[in-house]
Amino acid sequence: MLISEQMNAKLNEQINFEQYSAHTYLGMAAALESMGLKILADYFFKHADEEREHAMKMIRYVLSVGGKVTMKTIDEPKGDWDSVESIAKQSLDHELEVTKRINELVALADQQRDYATRSFLQWYVDEQVEEVSSAEYLLTLVKAAGPQQMLGLEHRIAQMMG
């Protein structure tokens, strides 16, 4: 095995957290669709798919370095998804939390001189820059639109999604 037991355990934790992220975004997407906001819902459904890909990519890495992948229980997402603004805010908070966790993994890789894992993690570091930035942008748009303008906001999101 090319990685330490500790790194293996931490990567498993992150795999679980990416799955938890997918779970969270699925919940948010469903809440948005229930509000009649299908385009915003699609944006979050897509995000959930991406989170699952993040988990898959990490699973493949752990296996490729001879580590052991352990699937754990995925927590129930918590939060108040009564409004688009609170969903957008919680999505930003969530991405900031993920970024913190990725940074901790990077710090551990540095500390252990595990340059393979350090190199692998760079993709996640870069991805988090994008994810935090798009979550911040969405929150700004939601706040600027206000609760009365959600359909107009959907139009804007549809354009962004191409």
* Contacts to Fe ion by CB under 5 A: 18, 51, 54, 131
Q: In whole angstroms, how close is the CB of 23 to Fe ion at the nearest point?
A: 12
Amino acid, res. 28: M
Q: In whole angstroms, how close is the CB of 2 to Fe ion at the nearest point?
A: 23
In the complex with Fe ion, the residue whose CB is nearer, 13 or 149, is 13
In the complex with Fe ion, the residue whose CB is nearer, 5 or 97, is 97
Q: In whole angstroms, how close is the CB of 131 to Fe ion at the nearest point?
A: 4
Q: Is the dihedral of CA 40, 42, 45, 49 positive or negative?
A: negative
Q: In whole angstroms, how close is the CB of 51 to Fe ion at the nearest point?
A: 5
Helices 38-64 and 115-145 meet at what angle, rounded to 10? 170
In the complex with Fe ion, the residue whose CB is nearer, 1 or 129, is 129
**Shortest-Cβ-distance residue relative to Fe ion:** 54
